[in-house]
Each structure stands twice: as structure tokens, then as C-alpha cells.
Amino acid sequence: MSTNKPLPMPTGISAPFWNGLKEGRVTIPQCKSCGHWVFFPRRHCDKCWSQDLEWKEVKGTGTLYTYTLTRVPTMPDFADEMPQKMAVVELDEGVRINTTLIGLDEAEIAVGMRLKPVIDTVATDGTALLRFTAADKDIPARIDSTPAALAAAAEKAAETAAAAPRRQVRFDDEAAMKALVSENYSPWSNQVVVDQALIDEFASLSGDDYWIHTDPERARRQSPFGGTIAHGALVQVLQSRLTIPLDYEVVGFNNMVNYGSDRLRFPAPVPAGSRIHARSRVKSVEKLPKGMQMTMEIVTHVVGSERPSVINDLVILYM
Ligand SMILES: [Zn+2]
């Protein structure tokens, strides 16, 4: 399991629905006595009270009954889905399903619009959620939103950006080096999934096994973050696994020394199961007797979150 988002907990009555989604099918119960479709799943028909129900596969097409946009995550784990487009969809069989809309801009959503199902795998055991998008959208009927799959997709985008030609800047060209200083950040790096397994490894390595990092059960009940969070120091060192695409390359130096950080802050938590990515900007360049010193601000964010989780002003001396 690599996500801390709450997942469906199938019961004896609802399990066929969740199992159907795992297999790529939308199924709902139908009353064999009167033909009425039943949802949410129950033991009896809510029209004629018969207990003679049968699960049937349906197309899953329908119309948007109502919706709302959530702009504040209900739990930190949902930061990467903001704004969530929560909806009630009325299937063509007449039943209504609570769900989320995907692949739609806010302006494209309208009550009564035609929708089609998208089965979204969200956990490595195949657990899937039933989501919906506009009937005319070019979105596959099955998608994979496990954190690992989303990170792999971001990896490709970052690789493309990193492969672009970079201009070379000589380390001892003071004017050119100072011209790199900017208020604007680079594009985003690749993404890394910070799951509980990784946090546990870091806890064991560092000796910091405080429950807020390592005890999901207790953290769910007692932590202000609604679950476990990564150590700030872990997120900081993960910067080594984030390749930030830069449009320049410093060249001509014999030696590059990492002097540490001018500033290191952890302004926002990284909930277990989050994806993180980073970007950077050159904050200052100073010519010293020993060489050229560059301060690079590297900010690491949970994907979708505006507040950085780590701010690191890294000081590098080129000699
Ligand atoms: Zn019935």
C-alpha cells in the first residue's frame, strides 16, 4: 500500500460492486421481482421489498445530477486532487451514485450533462474507484492513479524538459553568473512517492521513530495532520532523487563545494503516501576571493500544494 487516502472497505453486501470495478466492470443490483435497480447496495429492493436481487453489469453512462467543488482538502492526503469535483451521478438505470468527476475544467461542468464512467485504480492491490467524465472526453475507460503510476507519468515530463539543450555559463564570468539570479522558479522536477515504507526506513536509519511518523493507527486518531507525516529531514535529503530541469549549466570550474544551507525550513507537512516534487531558482551570486558562490533556493512541495514542505537555500562555491 503506498497511499494513506481512505480506501473502500467492502462489506458482504457491497463487495460485488468493488470486485466488479477491480475487474473493470460497473455492476449494480437489480430486483428480480419488479425490475427496479437498487443503489447503494442493500439486501432488499427499496421499491417492492423483495430480497431476490441480482448483480448485473451496466454501461455506467448517466447524467450529472448535482456537484460541488471542494477547495480546501478534507484531509491533507487529498491535496493533490484540489479542487475535488464531488458529484452525484444519475445512471441511465435511475440510481444515483456519489462520485468524483475527472478530466473536466470547472467551466465544462453543468448539471444534466452526459457522463461516462472511468474506473480508476488507486491502490496496488487493484482497488478501484468509480469516477465519471464527460461522455465526449477522450479519456480511457480505465486509468491508473496509484501514486507510483502518477509519479512515472511526471517522470516522463521532467525527462523531456531535462533533455532540452542548456546554455553553458562559465563559473568565472561574473556578469553571466549574476544574470542567472531570478525571482522565477524553474519547471518542476520528477516526482517521488513518500510512502510509509520509506518513512519507516528513515525512522530506523535515523533513530527518530516518533509515533507521528511511524504509527499510522495512532496518527489517524491523534495527529493534527490526520495521519503519519514524513520527517522534514527525510524530505530534505530526497532532493537528491529529484532532478530539476534547468536551462543552464555552470561549466569551467575545477571544483564545486557544497557549503550547506543558509536557510532550511519545513513550512508544511508531507503526509505519508504523498508525491513530492521540487523546483529551484538562483537567489544570489557573489564573487569571493576563492571563487564564485551561488545560493540556490530549492523548494520541495507536495504535488498540488501551494505551500512548500522544504525551503533549502543551498550554498555552492565554484572554484
Ligand atoms: Zn423490487
Query: What's residue 119's pLDDT?
Result: 97
Query: What's residue 3's pLDDT?
Result: 61
Using one digit for the tens of pLDDT, what is the confidence trace for 87-142?
999 999 999 999 999 999 999 999 999 999 999 999 889 999 999 999 999 999 99
- Segment (H or E) for 206: helix 196-206
Q: Find the 133 Cα to ligand 1 centroid distance in Å.
A: 30
Q: Find the 291 Cα to ligand 1 centroid distance in Å.
A: 83
What sign has the CA pseudo-torsion 246, 248, 253, 257?
A: negative
All CATH 3.10.129.10 domain ranges of the chain, comma separated, are 148-318
Query: What's residue 1's pLDDT?
Result: 39
Q: Find the 30 Cα to ligand 1 centroid distance in Å.
A: 8
Q: Find the 94 Cα to ligand 1 centroid distance in Å.
A: 14
Q: Find the 111 Cα to ligand 1 centroid distance in Å.
A: 29
Going from the first residue of the chain to its last (319 residues), give the mean pLDDT of each consecutive group of 10, the final group possibly shorter: 74 96 96 96 95 97 96 76 92 97 95 98 93 95 88 78 84 95 93 93 95 93 90 94 91 93 94 93 96 96 91 96
CATH pick for 148-318 out of 3.10.129.10, 3.40.50.300, 3.50.50.60, 3.20.20.70 = 3.10.129.10
Is the entire prediction scored with pTM above 0.75?
A: no
Closest CA to 240 of 310, 142, 170: 310
Owner of C-alpha cell 423483495:
50
Q: Find the 61 Cα to ligand 1 centroid distance in Å.
A: 22
**Domain 15-145 grouped into CATH 2.40.50.840:** yes
All CATH 2.40.50.840 domain ranges of the chain, comma separated, are 15-145
- Written as one string, the DSSP assignment of 142-176 is EEE--HHHHHHHHHHHHHHHHHS--EEEETT-HHH
Q: Find the 44 Cα to ligand 1 centroid distance in Å.
A: 8
Q: Find the 23 Cα to ligand 1 centroid distance in Å.
A: 27
Identify the burial level of 199 via C-beta atoms within 10 angstroms of its C-beta, where 0-12 means exposed, 13-18 middle and 19 or more buried. Answer: buried
Identify the burial level of 11 via C-beta atoms within 10 angstroms of its C-beta, where 0-12 means exposed, 13-18 middle and 19 or more buried. Answer: exposed
Q: Find the 37 Cα to ligand 1 centroid distance in Å.
A: 8
